[in-house]
Amino acid sequence: GRAIQAKLSAKGLKREQIEEALAEHADDRPSSEVDLIAALRLARRKKLGPFSTKDPVTPDKDLATLARAGFGYDIASRVIRMDKEPAEELLL
């Protein structure tokens, strides 16, 4: 998704190279679902949103962490609002 493109671009790869590489490794899933799964993996690793062990009083910090990782507001907010069980099912 966009996070991968941003990282590769920051490393100096040209847009055409990035698109070609991503097309070769394309999944049958829509890119929004791939981004959602990637965001959920990060959330699980960093214990954000549904994987958090603390009270969800301030989800802004979790949203900021996902935004810094390159995820858009729509994906980040979906992850933060998810319940743990559906989130884990998507990661299977």
pLDDT for 27-56, tens place per residue? Answer: 666 667 888 999 999 999 999 999 988 876
Q: Does pTM surpass 0.75?
A: no
- Angle, to 10 degrees, between the axis of helix 2-10 and the axis of helix 15-24? 140
Q: What's the confidence (pLDDT) of residue 57?
A: 63
